[in-house]
Structure 1
Amino acid sequence: MKQYQLKIHKDKYIPVMVDAKLPELEPSEIRIAMDAWSINYRDLLISAFNSDISREGLVPLSDGSGIIVEVGTNVSRLKVGQRVCPIFFHDWRTGSFKETDIQSALGGSFPGVLSEQIVIDEKSVVVIPEQFSAIEASTLPCAAVTAWQALFVRGNLNENSTVLIQGTGGVALFALQFAKAVGAKVIITSSSDQKLQFAQKLGADVLINYQKIPEWDKEVKIATEGVGATHILELGGPDTFSLSLNCLSAGGYILQIGVLTGFGAQTNLMRLQSINATICGISVGSRVHFENMIDFMIRHNIKPIIDMIFPFTEATKAYSYIASAKHTGKICITHE
């Protein structure tokens, strides 16, 4: 079969297509013929060179969908012919997150899905309902589940909430659609007026171009009559965190997800204490979160926003495109 593996090239890892052996099937595993994949900003971070972590030979990407073509002798939950998505953390199926679950992140510490076939434990997939195409389903495991856990599992979002969302990437647009589905107010920041207009069509209530308004925290306070946002999807990282904290409401939530501006803290947390607010570190979610999210999406007729689709043979172009930051929504890969 054809498969992509990360190979070192100069100062980074690049995905290279190789001929790979079909993996053998253990009794509790299923074999999936993959139909579609999607890429996340995380995949760019993983491809960056790190002298402490070897990525040589790693199969990249956490997100994909396909059809079960074979089941192990002990498999009882699933059957051949069902459409499924692997979950992001192979071992986080239900209950609370454990630190050891980090080692089971697909396309990171654990082999990813950018391969014509994969083998995975039957308990580490979700069944795709008929309402989603293969490409649509491929966008869900990381970005959508991240937005779901942030807003509903950790953030207790409701119709009285005001959500500030940074950007218009995958997590951002899923969060926008989820928040509007329950009647929350949504504020969107972006450097592009065109992207802001797109977000407005999806229901965004307040649009802020942060290049034109660098002190966007003040604009958020104005838009909320001085109260601030009850929920902030913090996707920027160190360069945006202080501004987020400035415009967070009393008792509000900073949902820490992204590192678009790098790593490291650059803020004074005294305000967090003084307004009785909460920071929640968000790292995707469990299989149960995924399943609950799918039910929610079906009830509210929510579909993923897909920007661009690349053929499997040109998967490297998906990396270049997400690095350009020109996308609005998800970037996908599929068979030609």
Structure 2
Amino acid sequence: MILEKNTMKAWQLKGFGLDNLKLEDIAIPTPGANEVLIKVGAVSLNFRDKAIVDGIYEPEMVPNPLTPISDASGTIVQIGANVTRFKLGDRVTSHLYSKWIEGAPAHNEPDFCFGSPLPGGLAEYMIIHEESAVLAPSTLTDEEASTLPIAALTAWYSLITYGNLQKGDSVLIQGTGGVSIFGIQLATALGARVIVTTSSNEKGERARRLGAQEVINYVETPEWAAEVVRLTNGKGVDQLLEVVGGDGLNDSVKATKVTGQISVIGFLAGQTTDLNLMQVIFRQTKIQGIAVGNRSAFEEMNKAFDQYNIKPVIEKVYQFEDAIEAYRHLAKGAFGKIVIKIS
């Protein structure tokens, strides 16, 4: 396909801070032999994207200039000479760790992440290697599909790939951020009993509408781990999605059954912890660090989105020209994803 122009609008980060994020005209990239060019339909924001702009996420790896944002969805408009996995017109999404296809990650996966150090999707067009692209679920729009690469895949990789979630299992999910909301939806769809902790009764009610069967306000119930044990007849949950981190990890161990799994996906309360190892040893707790997931898991997850007709929760869709406002919204917090519509 021959494009009508050779330049595109793209947001360029030329130094840390939102003041250094500018909308400019740059050349449309040409796909290599095994690459595809997508016309970007939408991108979604993650905390990683904000941290990159703020200069607190591996700043030494951020090129200048950078087209930011890792999670994108769009339509293939050009393909390289040797591409076999896709055809013109296919709708695809990016995959954060662009070279992690299956199995365990390599030691250098962060060197090949979209949105830094590789160019991201906050532009009219984006290059993706055919091995890195993933077919978007047919039941989702570009705006919806753009929310999947980090937040949804992190929840899926935790609960299903590592956790082998089964119908009837119990899952505790901390909070109502992007990963947590997908965790509620996926675990509910697969027949698990979902317990959610939150500081907001209003968000707790919204979590119930998504499928959570129990909600614990940890401000009103600071001994929330004991309440989880009570709700599970003294056993504790089979799995727990840990987004808080810090010393609260000890409470998560208490809330999880003997031999249960804690998937550590966040560190809102701190990146270090004073962990009671005796408790971990005697309860034989599995503590698993999760950094998103591989492409094979992504493709399996997308089948589930179609099969169960799961719809991502989007708080607001911003226009391409209003990307700065989208970042500011993310900084204030949201129930669901913040999306930027490109085309």
Same fold (TM over 0.5): yes
Gaps of 5+ in 2: 1-7
How far residue 52 of structure 1 moved from its aligned partner, in angstroms, is 5.6
Is 1:122 aligned with 2:127?
A: no
Change in CA separation of 1:14 and 1:186 when aligned onto 2, cut-off 3 Å: farther
Work out whether residues 244 and 268 of structure 2, in 8 Å CA contact, stay in contact via their aligned partners in 1.
yes
Give the aligned partner of residue 330 of structure 1. 337
2:103 to 84, 87, 95: 95
1:109 is matched with which residue?
Answer: 117
Does residue 274 of structure 2 align to residue 298 of structure 1?
A: no
Partner of 1:123, secondary structure, is coil
2:11 pairs with one of 1, 4, 7 = 4
What's 1:38 paired with? Answer: 44
Q: Deviations over 1:64-88 (max 9, x none)?
A: 1011111111112211111111111
Q: 2:13·2:66 contact (CA, 8 Å) conserved in 1?
A: yes
Alpha-carbon separation, structure 1, partners of 2:259 and 2:286: 7
Distance 1:196 1:112 in 2: 34
| TM-score when normalising by structure 1 | 0.94
Q: Is the 8 A contact 2:71 2:96 kept in 1?
A: yes
| TM-score (ref. length: structure 2) | 0.92
Q: CA RMSD for the aligned pairs?
A: 1.8
Structure 2 residue corresponding to 1:63, chosen from 60, 71, 74: 71
Q: How does 1:174-323 map to 2 (within 5 A)?
A: 174-323=182-331
- Structure 2 distance, partners of 1:109, 1:136, is 25
Unaligned runs of 5+ in 1: none
Closer/same/farther in 2, CA of residues 211 and 7 from structure 1, 3 Å limit: farther
In 2, the alpha carbon distance for the partners of 1:240 and 1:22 equals 47
Distance 1:110 1:161 in 2: 39
Do the aligned partners of residues 73 and 312 (structure 1) sit closer, same or farther apart at CA in structure 2, a change above 3 Å counting?
A: same
Distance in 1 of aligned mates of 2:20 and 2:267:
21
Q: How big is the shift at 1:244?
A: 0.9
Q: How many residues end up aligned between the 2 structures?
A: 334
Q: Distance in 2 between matches of 1:244 and 1:129?
A: 34
Question: Equivalents in 2 of 1:219, 1:333: separation in Å?
Answer: 39
Q: Secondary structure in 1 aligned to 2:27? A: coil
Asked whether the 8 Å contact 1:15–1:60 carries over to 2, the reply is: no
- Quick one: distance in 2 between partners of 1:134 and 1:245? 38
Q: Give the letter for the 1:84 counterpart.
A: V
Q: Are the counterparts in 1 of residues 16 and 53 from structure 2 also a CA contact under 8 Å?
A: no
Is contact 2:236–2:255 with CA below 8 Å preserved after alignment?
Answer: yes
Identity of aligned residues (%): 39
Quote the Cα distance in structure 2 between the aligned partners of 1:145 and 1:229: 21
* SS in structure 1 of the partner of residue 181 of structure 2: helix
Which residue type is aligned with residue 272 of structure 2?
G
SS at match of 2:184: helix
Partner of residue 139, structure 1: 147
Once the two structures are superposed, residues 140-197 of structure 1 have per-residue CA deviations (whole angstroms, 9 ceiling, x without a partner) of: 1111111110001101111231111011121111111111112111110111111100
Separation in 2, partners of 1:129, 1:231:
27
**SS at 1:310's partner residue?**
strand
Whether the 8 Å CA contact 1:4–1:18 is kept in 2: the answer is yes
- Code of the residue aligned with 1:243 in structure 2: it is D
